Structure 1
């Protein structure tokens, strides 16, 4: 068993990468990835802008994914990790007397847009962006989805599943991207490459290239 903690919204990406490495070392293995987030345990009563945003945005959720070398579901093709050090203080948490105390800056969407733009050449070289028409962006908030969409230049419709999950469940931290990918797996209109992206403390960008047959 491996526990992946304190990575926030991109923890599922770290779990998927770990599972991929296990499967490369043990081709017959099956790896169960489980994400559980109980964000409401950290509900903060003090009336501050950070608490108001965190209390209204985050929700509880759980999801699991079974990974193996069988030719089913979504195939992992590549992944990468980038750090926007400029945004380190803009997304963080500390342990207070009544749970985690979130620090969420209003500049996060803009920082992510700048970061995606800065790493565009890396993404193009590694993922061949011009050949990708499906995107699974972690719905950390409506503005985050909008800014990442603008940075990549893909149509608004590409965010429909992420927006649907955000609308119905909120931001469930690491669980959220698994909900989005599940919706895309069920959508018969989606095939080929899917670029998934998540964000978290650091400010960290985790990217995963998948393929749906």
Structure 2
């Protein structure tokens, strides 16, 4: 199978899978059992009750159940980073295995035919890395090529896709397994500052994986075709989003200037990606009528700002809003959840444009052709 659009052998996403921890906590339950009793100072309680419903998160999956006494927030506040990270490893291995197995099953191929394993995480660490530990569990070859893209934050979902696409273009026989896993709630803010406390109502846990390769075989059913990608560090923004190592875990800085900074830069970023980074592929001529927008739902301010800047509606970004509502922000895995949601859309437009953002501030973008609309097996 060829693209029909150019001589470039574009990479395709050939199967996807997602997984979450079993415990699901609604925003209301979180506020009543965790937020109000333990996180919020009395002076901020009324403000929090006004603000948290506007975040747009209906509920999230948690690896650690903070509603139980033995794993409660007060217990977490007394733990050091070693204890927190050990919990992260257990949860991460579990949901990573599940999302990878789903992706392989969705693809329909043999795990032994996978030539590369690309992984990303930023909410904990393990040595050997996640990909090395999963090789025997998933039945992969022990000489598989491994690539780790850790601590790139929320944008790593597209960072890894850009890396994987470059590898897949090199050889039609390459098949890559790509995995993004995050346990954001393990690193719940211990700060008393309101801007930090309110982020505890946003982040959730999840894992997403997919198979990528070029020149799909007859037995492979492509979901997306990668037409191009782009990345950029926005100058003078390094202090807006940071992870810093602390005794009790990762300390996160999330500056209120992030949404307006992204909104100001996204149109120019998109223009350059379409004009210079799409390998001569045929592209949409009408970015409103022909494109879905699969945006990393970092929060309502980010989604609203991008939609306004690009002149699109919430409907264009409906899968991002859906993922934010049902799962919250799962860092690098989140943008892949939006893609997995969109693949089942029977009224999707022929193209998708995807953005994600992370520390730097880094912007990552991908242009996709939606092949799932032609498949009969979904």
**Band the TM-score falls in, shorter-chain normalisation:** over 0.9
TM-score of the pair, normalised by structure 1: 0.93
How far apart are residue 50 of structure 1 and its match?
4.2
Q: Deviations over 1:126-150 (max 9, x none)?
A: 4667533211111000010000011
1:38 paired with 2:183, answer: yes
Residue number in structure 2 paired with 1:208: 366
Residue number in structure 1 paired with 2:320: 162
Cα RMSD between the aligned structures? 1.7
CA distance in 2, matches of 1:80, 1:38: 27
Residue number in structure 2 paired with 1:9: 154
Q: Secondary structure at the match of 1:87?
A: coil
TM-score of the pair, normalised by structure 2: 0.54
Where does the alignment leave 5 or more consecutive residues of structure 1 unmatched? none
CA distance in 2, matches of 1:49, 1:66: 41
Cα distance change, pair 74–19 in 1 and its aligned pair in 2 (3 A):
same
How far apart are residue 99 of structure 1 and its match?
1.0
Q: Deviations over 1:109-168 (max 9, x none)?
A: 111111114435424524667533211111000010000011111122111110110011
1:186 paired with 2:344, answer: yes
**Structure 1 stretches of at least 4 aligned residues deviating more than 6 Å after TM superposition:** none
- Show the 5 A alignment for 1:123-202: 123-126=273-276, 130-132=285-287, 133-202=291-360
Residue number in structure 1 paired with 2:263: 113
Larger radius of gyration: 2
CA distance in 2, matches of 1:44, 1:197: 26
1:94 paired with 2:239, answer: no
Is the Cα contact below 8 Å between 2:284 and 2:351 reproduced in 1?
no
CA distance in 1, matches of 2:234, 2:297: 18
Residue number in structure 1 paired with 2:231: 81
CA distance in 1, matches of 2:333, 2:160: 11
Where does the alignment leave 5 or more consecutive residues of structure 2 unmatched? 1-145, 372-378
Cα distance change, pair 22–171 in 1 and its aligned pair in 2 (3 A):
same
**Higher mean C-alpha deviation, range 120-129 or range 106-115:** 120-129
CA distance in 2, matches of 1:103, 1:95: 11
How far apart are residue 54 of structure 1 and its match?
2.8
The equivalent position to 2:192 in structure 1, one of 40, 44, 47, is 47
How far apart are residue 191 of structure 1 and its match?
3.3
Q: Deviations over 1:148-202 (max 9, x none)?
A: 0111111221111101100110000000011100111110111311100000001
Which of 1 and 2 has higher RCO (CA within 8 Å, sep 6+)?
A: 1
Cα distance change, pair 123–23 in 1 and its aligned pair in 2 (3 A):
closer
Is the Cα contact below 8 Å between 1:87 and 1:203 reproduced in 2?
yes
